[in-house]
Structure 1
């Protein structure tokens, strides 16, 4: 039983954990609460960093090329202030050297799921874990239908409402922003518009709200920062009226999905239980805002590191290192949120000054372009 690993949750983090465990000679079983055929609405995480693609390639040769081949790489990023351009950068990319791939999370999940099937990884769908008994000898999982699974270790990748985390007594603590954000997926138009990432400060077409436009394979992500007192649901309902002003690249925009979210900055008290048999990964361990694309990327890093820790017997090191990485992501996300909200007059003054100086001082425009995503974490541990 020491080489057996139960992975709970079959999102991208759980699927990556199962593949990583298999690549290390462990015996994973994948347990998912939802049905295999369940509908997965929305594009959700749409940005996979090169470091994440490289990690996936190491655990399953060919994965990086398959995911990249289905994704989109944009080579231009642009930032505007009240409709005036303050920053533009275009850089050459090729499929082999692209720093990322942009595609719906559902596509990534499909690729990883097929890889698990091809590897012969056992999976159980539609039977939620109901109880966890963890001790020095291993872990016993009981499902709602009465199934029992015994394993040397468990990698919990069952999301923000993780049953596994709750059953082993680990709390998830942190904060939620009061400001709401509206996110809308728009299908590509009949002719693909130039693929550019565009950030608008004070977009004149939506009453001066901040707007982020990100292209991905098959569509566009439109992310609008609400103002205090906004009715986010009404903003979504009125989207057909303001979308053409925000996304003129797509005539007659077709909305395929929409949602309202708040920035979440939450962290598990610890990333492994007292016995060292249950390891938390992804949103079971941390909740991060989507700006900067830290969520799924850091979760896949967790997954690969968790499987490695099980194989090498370094669970305590895993828990410490991945908690530190998550803390770094939370600090970076907090800096991004602070910049976006700009609640202090001094912050707003710096932004106005940077916008005014950008035609003469390119560094000012670069700062306006980079600040909404938070400081970069130099070591690509996410």
Structure 2
């Protein structure tokens, strides 16, 4: 009996397999999609320092390789209706606090690390049935294979089949306001790269706009106004993108999407027999602001492998659910700030923007608030 199966070969599942291998377990990685399947878009582009440290612990030099492929921007800037209200630059000699690159590149590096470690993997075979007992788990696949394992780390995404078959509900809410994300190709010079947040951008009808550089281009995130049709806004991107990204004379869109903020949390992070451990989007769905989704999922993955090794699955479920609750709370605070549905919230933002030239803390608040409060006690 293999010690652990990992279902799902996104960044969370690949990390879980590497973490399990690093602890001396015998993981098998199961993925429904073929290995050659193409995943469009940059998706999660921001890799936190804590995540890079996780990578280095489970596979020597992996964090450094991710850093080498990514882009580190050293300046963050916030504007209100075209006027700067805050700017902060990291020192050139400071430790790398993060790196920014497409999720597809991170996945490719993780797959190579799994191959180099000799981790068994099965691609293009959906896990169809899951039977959990006090003694282990039996997995049956579409192609007729059976895997008997001691534990399963379920990293099979937001529509997790394992979560559903374990009878665990995904509870929470979805925002009514739409957001538009557009990837724009560009060869960015690292010394010129900046993360920029615009409140009420005059070039796109007073909508909030986030610009994040990454290796290969820009992520442009636009908050729709009440009554907007996100798909129509994407269709008109050729009109407003030059005003949002004047640095790119002929912006070429490589991917776009319309989404709503999800704030959802699994009722439990493990099944009744403590044999199935939920991780990543199988356990929680979070808005992208603050880069909490993939980074918290990778922390889940490492913690899940450790819990299987130590026999502390119940503790995993309790601690990681507490972390997810904190992330959902922080994401909710960020969403409330961005939507500013109440007149008092809008007045407070305007007052902070007005005061920012004379009071730096007002500008700092405007810069930090769209990402929610920092999480220190339970981590990502």
- For the aligned pair, the TM-score class normalised by the smaller chain equals over 0.9
Task: Find the partner of 2:192 among 182, 191, 194.
Answer: 194
2:272 pairs with 1:274: yes
Measure how far apart 1:97 and its partner are: 1.3
2:39 pairs with 1:19: no
Write out per-residue CA displacement over residues 88-129 of structure 1, whole angstroms, 9 at most, x where no aligned residue. Answer: 1112145x8110010000000000000000000000000111
Count of aligned positions: 380
TM-score, normalised to structure 1's length? 0.98
2:102 pairs with 1:116: no
Tell me, which stretches of 5 or more residues in structure 1 are unaligned?
A: none
2:53 pairs with 1:76: no
Matches within 5 A, 1:225-374: 225-374=223-372
Distance between the aligned counterparts of 2:370 and 2:63, measured in 1? 28
Distance between the aligned counterparts of 1:345 and 1:312, measured in 2? 51
Distance between the aligned counterparts of 1:215 and 1:193, measured in 2? 11
For 2:337, what is the secondary structure of its paired residue? Answer: helix
Superposed structure 1 runs of 4+ greater than 4 Å apart: 189-193
Write out per-residue CA displacement over residues 199-219 of structure 1, whole angstroms, 9 at most, x where no aligned residue. Answer: 000000000000000000010
Matches within 5 A, 1:192-231: 194-231=192-229
Q: Is contact 1:193-1:250 (8 Å) kept?
A: no
Write out per-residue CA displacement over residues 317-341 of structure 1, whole angstroms, 9 at most, x where no aligned residue. Answer: 0000000000000000000000000
Q: Is contact 1:172-1:267 (8 Å) kept?
A: yes
Structure 1 pair 251–193 and aligned structure 2 pair: CA distance change class (3 A): farther
Tell me, which stretches of 5 or more residues in structure 2 are unaligned?
A: none
For 2:234, what is the secondary structure of its paired residue? Answer: helix
Structure 1 pair 139–184 and aligned structure 2 pair: CA distance change class (3 A): same
Task: Find the partner of 1:128 among 126, 129, 132.
Answer: 126
Measure how far apart 1:189 and its partner are: 5.0
Q: Is contact 2:187-2:216 (8 Å) kept?
A: no
Q: Which position in structure 1 is the counterpart of 2:5?
A: 6
Q: Is contact 2:73-2:191 (8 Å) kept?
A: no
2:60 pairs with 1:61: yes
Q: Is contact 2:32-2:124 (8 Å) kept?
A: yes
For 2:192, what is the secondary structure of its paired residue? Answer: coil
Distance between the aligned counterparts of 2:104 and 2:81, measured in 1? 34
Matches within 5 A, 1:24-35: 24-35=23-34
Distance between the aligned counterparts of 2:191 and 2:258, measured in 1? 26
Q: What RMSD in Å do the two structures reach over aligned CA positions?
A: 1.2
Structure 1 pair 379–190 and aligned structure 2 pair: CA distance change class (3 A): closer
Q: Is contact 2:188-2:217 (8 Å) kept?
A: no
Distance between the aligned counterparts of 2:241 and 2:107, measured in 1? 29
Q: Is contact 2:136-2:150 (8 Å) kept?
A: yes
Q: Is contact 1:189-1:253 (8 Å) kept?
A: no
Distance between the aligned counterparts of 2:62 and 2:143, measured in 1? 34
Distance between the aligned counterparts of 1:109 and 1:225, measured in 2? 28
Q: Which position in structure 1 is the counterpart of 2:155?
A: 157
Distance between the aligned counterparts of 1:12 and 1:192, measured in 2? 25
Write out per-residue CA displacement over residues 144-178 of structure 1, whole angstroms, 9 at most, x where no aligned residue. Answer: 11111110000000000000111111110100000
Distance between the aligned counterparts of 1:117 and 1:361, measured in 2? 53
Measure how far apart 1:275 and its partner are: 0.3
Distance between the aligned counterparts of 2:361 and 2:76, measured in 1? 15
